[in-house]
Structure 1
Amino acid sequence: MGSRVRIDVRGTVQGVGFRPFVHRLATELGLDGDVRNAGGCVVIRLAGNRIGDFLPRLTSSAPPNASVTGVDVTGLPSRDRLARGFRIAPSTAGQGGEVPPDLATCPDCVRELFDPADRRHRYPFLSCTACGPRATILRRLPYDRASTSMRSFPLCAACAAEYQDPADRRFHAEPIACPDCGPRLSWSATRGENALAAACAVLADGGIVAVKGLGGYQLVCDAADESAIQRLRQGKARPAKPLAVLADGVAGARRLSAVDKKAAELLTSAEAPIVLLPRRPGAPLAEGIAPGLAEVGVFLATTPLHHLLLAELSRPLVVTSGNRSGGPIVADDADAFTTLGPICDGILGHDRPIWSRYDDSVARAKHGRTSLVRRARGYAPTALPLPFATPEPVLALGAQLKHTCTLARDGLAHLGPHTGDLENAETFTAFKRTAGDLLRWHRTAPEWCAHDLHPGYLSTQYARRWPESRRIAVQHHHAHVAATAAEHGVTEPFVGIALDGLGLGTDGTFWGGEVLLARHQDFQRFGRFATAPMPGGTAAVRRPARMALGYLYGAESFGSPIPERLAAALLSRVDDQERSVVRATVARNFNCPRASSAGRLFDAMSAFLGLCDDNSYEGEAAVRLEAAATGHDASAPLDWALHEQDGLWVYDPVPTLCDALRSASDSPVGEVAARFHRTVAEVVVAIAAKAAAAWGAEVVCLGGGVFQNSLLTARVLAGLARAGLRALAGERVPMNDGGISYGQAAVACARMNGR
Structure 2
Amino acid sequence: MTTRQRASLEIDGIVQGVGFRPFVYRLALRLGLSGWVRNTGQGVQIEAEGEAEALAAFSRALREEAPPLAVVTALRLTHLDAVGEEGFVILDSAKKGHGGEVSPDCDVCEDCLKELFDPDNRRHLYPFINCTNCGPRYSIITGIPYDRPATTMAGFPMCDDCLAEYHDPLNRRFHAQPNACPVCGPRLSLFDAEGAPVAGDPLQQALAALKAGRVVAVKGVGGYHLAVDASNEEAVTLLRRRKKRDEKPFAMLAADLDAVRRHVHCSELEGRLLSGVESPIVLMRKRPESTVSPLVAPGNGWFGFMLPGNPLQHLLARGVDSPLVMTSGNLSDEPIAYRDDEALRTLSGIADFFLTHDRDIHTRTDDSVIRLYRGEPLFLRRSRGYVPRAVALPGEQARVLAVGAELKATLCLTRGGQGFMSQHIGDLKNAATLTSLEESAAHLGRLLEITPEVVAHDLHPDYLSTVYGQGLGLPCVAVQHHHAHMASCMAENGLDGEAIGVILDGTGYGSDGTIWGGEFLVGGYAGFARRGHFGLMRMPGGDAAVREPFRMALAALYRLHGAELFLQPLAVCGEVQEGDRPLFLKMLEKGINAPLTSSCGRLFDAVSALLSVRHRISYEGQAAIELEALAETGAADEAYPYLVAGEGSHVLEFGPAIAAICADLAGGKSRADIARAFHRTVAAGIVEVCRRIRAEHGEERVVLSGGVFQNRLLTEDVAGELTAEGFQVYCHRLVPPNDGGLALGQAVIAGRALGK
Report what 2:293 is aligned to: 286
Aligned to 2:78: 74
Q: 1 CA distance for matches of 2:291 and 2:371?
A: 22
Cα distance between partner residues in 2 of 1:433 and 1:77: 47
Candidates 547, 551, 572, aligned match of 2:552:
547
Q: 1:65-144 counterparts in 2 under 5 A?
A: 65-76=69-80, 83-94=85-96, 95-144=98-147
**1:121 to partner: Cα distance:** 0.4
Match of 1:474 in 2: 479
Deviation, structure 1 residue 193: 7.7
1:709 equivalent among 695, 708, 711: 711
**3-state DSSP class of the match of 2:142?**
coil
What secondary structure does 1:664 align onto? helix
Residue 529 of structure 1 contacts residue 597 of structure 1 at CA under 8 Å; is this kept in 2? Answer: yes
Distance in structure 2 (CA, Å) of the matches to 1:320 and 1:589: 41
Instruction: Classify 1:579/1:128 alpha carbon distance in 2 versus 1 (closer, same or farther; 3 Å).
Output: farther
Out of 441, 453, 462, the position equivalent to 2:459 is 453
Q: What code does the residue aligned with 1:433 have?
A: E
**Alignment CA distance shift 1:545-1:4 (3 Å):** same
Matched with 2:434 is 428
1:441 aligned to 413, 437, 447, which one?
A: 447
Task: State how far apart, in whole Å, the 1-side matches of 2:246 and 2:163 are.
Answer: 49
- Distance in 1, Cα, partners of 2:580 & 2:306: 43
Q: Is the 8 Å Cα contact of residues 562 and 654 (structure 1) preserved in structure 2? A: no
Question: Aligned to 2:445, what secondary structure does the other structure show?
Answer: helix
CA distance in 2, matches of 1:560, 1:658: 13
Q: 1:307 aligns with which of 297, 310, 314?
A: 314
SS at match of 2:282: strand
Give aligned-pair identity as a percent.
Answer: 44
The residue that corresponds to 1:628 in the other structure is 630
TM-fit CA distance, 1:696: 2.3
Is the alpha carbon distance of 1:84 and 1:190 closer, same or farther for their aligned partners in structure 2, counting shifts above 3 Å?
Answer: farther
Match for 2:58: what amino acid? F
8 A contact 1:257–1:296 mirrored in 2: yes
Check conservation: 1:388, 1:750, Cα contact below 8 A.
no
Name the counterpart of 1:51. 55
Letter in 2 for 1:61: E
Task: Provide runs of 4+ in structure 1 moved above 6 Å.
Answer: 559-562
Q: Hey, what does 2:701 align to over in structure 1?
A: 699
Contact 2:559–2:655 (CA under 8 A) maintained in structure 1: no
In structure 2, the residue matched to 1:492 is: 497
**Residues 397 and 404, structure 1, Cα contact 8 Å, conserved in 2:** yes
Corresponding letter in the other structure for 1:160 = L
Residues in 2 aligned to 1:40 and 1:420: alpha-carbon distance in whole angstroms: 30
- Aligned: 1:418 with 2:424: yes
The residue number in structure 2 matching 1:184 is: 187
Aligned to 1:61, which of 57, 61, 65? 65
Q: 1:133-212 alignment to 2 at 5 Å?
A: 133-188=136-191, 194-212=201-219
- Counterpart in 1 of 2:529? 524
* Structure 1 residues 202 and 669: CA distance shift in structure 2, 3 A: same
The answer on whether the counterparts of 1:387 and 1:491 sit within 8 Å (CA) in structure 2 is yes
Q: Distance in 2 between matches of 1:498 and 1:562?
A: 34
CA contact (8 A) 1:566 1:661 kept: no
Worse-superposed segment, 590-599 or 578-587: 578-587
The number of aligned residues is: 746
Q: What is the aligned counterpart of 2:669 among 667, 670, 691?
A: 667
Indicate whether 1:264 and 2:266 are aligned: no
2:70 aligned partner, one-letter code: A
Where does residue 651 of structure 2 map in the other structure? 650
Picking from 217, 234, 237, the partner of 1:230 is 237
Q: Which amino acid aligns with 1:143?
A: Y
Aligned 1:310-459 pairs, distance under 5 A:
310-390=317-397, 392-459=398-465
Task: Name which of structure 1's ranges 88-97 and 379-388 shifts more when overlaid on structure 2.
Answer: 88-97
- For structure 1, which segment, 477-486 or 354-363, has the greater mean C-alpha deviation from structure 2 after superposition? 477-486
| TM-score of the two chains, using structure 1 as the length reference | 0.96
Distance, in Å, in 1 between the alignment partners of 2:429 and 2:91 is 47
Question: 3-state SS of the aligned residue for 1:400?
Answer: coil
Amino acid at match of 2:78: T
Matched residue of 2:678: which SS? helix
SS of residue matched to 1:626: helix
Paired residues for 1:19-38 under 5 Å = 19-38=21-40
**Structure 1 residue 577: Cα displacement:** 4.0
From 733, 736, 740, the counterpart of 2:735: 733
Counterparts of 2:685 and 2:146 in 1: how far apart (Å)? Answer: 50
Q: 1:147 to 1:316 in 2, by over 3 A?
A: same
**502, 506, 511: which one pairs with 1:506?**
511
In 1, the alpha carbon distance for the partners of 2:296 and 2:248 equals: 8
Given that residues 40 and 141 in structure 1 are in contact (C-alpha distance below 8 angstroms), is that contact kept between their aligned partners in structure 2? no
| Cα distance in 2 between the residues matched to 1:435 and 1:550 | 41
CA distance in 2, matches of 1:649, 1:566: 30
**Does 449-458 or 33-42 show the bigger shift?**
33-42
| Cα contact 2:563–2:585 (8 A) shared by 1 | no
Provide the rounded CA distance (Å) in 1 between the counterparts of 2:747 and 2:569: 44
Provide the rounded CA distance (Å) in 1 between the counterparts of 2:19 and 2:200: 30
CA distance in 2, matches of 1:349, 1:739: 32
- Taking structure 1 as reference, are residues 40 and 143 closer, same or farther at Cα in structure 2, changes over 3 Å only? farther
How far residue 579 of structure 1 moved from its aligned partner, in angstroms, is: 3.5
Deviations along 1:381-428, one digit per CA (max 9) or x if unpaired, are: 1110111212x3110010000000000112110000101000011111
2:277 and 2:583 map into 1 onto residues whose CA distance is: 54
Shift in alpha-carbon separation, 1:9–1:567, aligned structure 2, 3 A: farther
Q: Is the 8 A contact 2:129 2:311 kept in 1?
A: yes
Contact 2:399–2:751 at 8 Å: present in 1 too? Answer: no
Q: Conserved in 1, the CA contact under 8 Å of 2:226 and 2:326? A: yes
In 2: Cα distance, 1:193 partner to 1:313 partner:
18
Instruction: Say which SS state the counterpart of residue 512 (structure 2) adopts.
Output: coil
Structure 1 Cα separation of the partners of residues 167 and 106 of structure 2: 22
Is the 2:123–2:182 contact (alpha carbons within 8 Å) kept by the matching residues of 1?
yes
Paired with 1:561 and 1:182, the residues of 2 have a C-alpha distance of: 71
One-letter amino acid matched to 1:501:
G
Q: Quote the Cα distance in structure 1 between the aligned partners of 2:447 and 2:635.
A: 52
Distance verdict in 2 for CA 1:634–1:584, change over 3 Å: same
Residue 525 to residue 154, structure 1, CA distance change in 2 (3 Å): same
**SS of alignment partner, residue 598 of structure 2:** strand
Cα distance in structure 2, aligned partners of 1:2 and 1:402: 56
Kindly indicate whether the alpha-carbon contact (under 8 Å) linking 1:14 and 1:40 is maintained by their aligned counterparts in 2.
Answer: no
Q: How far apart are residue 629 of structure 1 and its match?
A: 0.3
Map Cα deviations across residues 569-625 of structure 1 (whole Å, 9 max, x no partner).
Answer: 211233334443321112221111111000000011101110011110000000000
> How many Å separate the matches in 1 of 2:235 and 2:375?
36
Task: List runs of 5+ in structure 2 lacking aligned partners.
Answer: none
Q: CA deviation at 1:565?
A: 4.9
Q: Distance in 1 between matches of 2:189 and 2:698?
A: 64
- Structure 1: which 5+ runs fail to align? none
Deviations 1:716-736 (A, max 9, x none): 110111011111111110000
What is the letter of the counterpart of residue 477 of structure 1? H
Question: What is the distance in 2 between the residues matched to 1:741 and 1:452?
Answer: 9
Q: Counterpart in 1 of 2:614?
A: 612
Contact 1:272 1:378 in 2 (8 A): yes
Tell me the distance in 1 between the aligned counterparts of 2:374 and 2:700.
23
User: Are the equivalent residues in 1 in contact too, given 2:413–2:450 (CA < 8 A)?
Assistant: no
| Equivalent residue letter for 1:352 | R
Q: Which amino acid aligns with 1:514?
A: E
In structure 1, what is the Cα distance between the partners aligned to 2:612 and 2:100? 52
